[in-house]
Amino acid sequence: MLTFLTGGARSGKSSLAVGMAAASGDAVVFLATARPEGDAEWHERLARHRGERPASWTTVEEPLDVVGAVTAADPDAFLVVDCLTLWAANAVDAGWDDDEIEALAVKGASAAAVRPGSTVVVTNEVGGGIVPVERAVRRFRDVLGRTNAVWSQHADRAYLVVAGRLVPLLDAGA
Among candidate residues 3, 14, 28, 49, the one labeled active-site is: 49
Short-list 82, 89, 87, CA closest to 59:
82
Q: Mark whether 49 is an active-site residue.
A: yes
Q: What are the start-end ranges of the E strands in 88-168? A: 119-124, 157-162, 165-168
Burial 105-137 (b: 16+ CB within 10 A, else e): bbbbbebbbebebbbbbbbbbbeeeeeeeeeee
Question: Phi, psi at residue 20, to the nearest 5°?
Answer: -60, -45
The answer to whether 22 and 55 are in contact (CB under 8 A) is no
> Which CA distances in Å does 36 have to 22, 46, 95, 132?
24, 8, 19, 27
Active site residues: 49
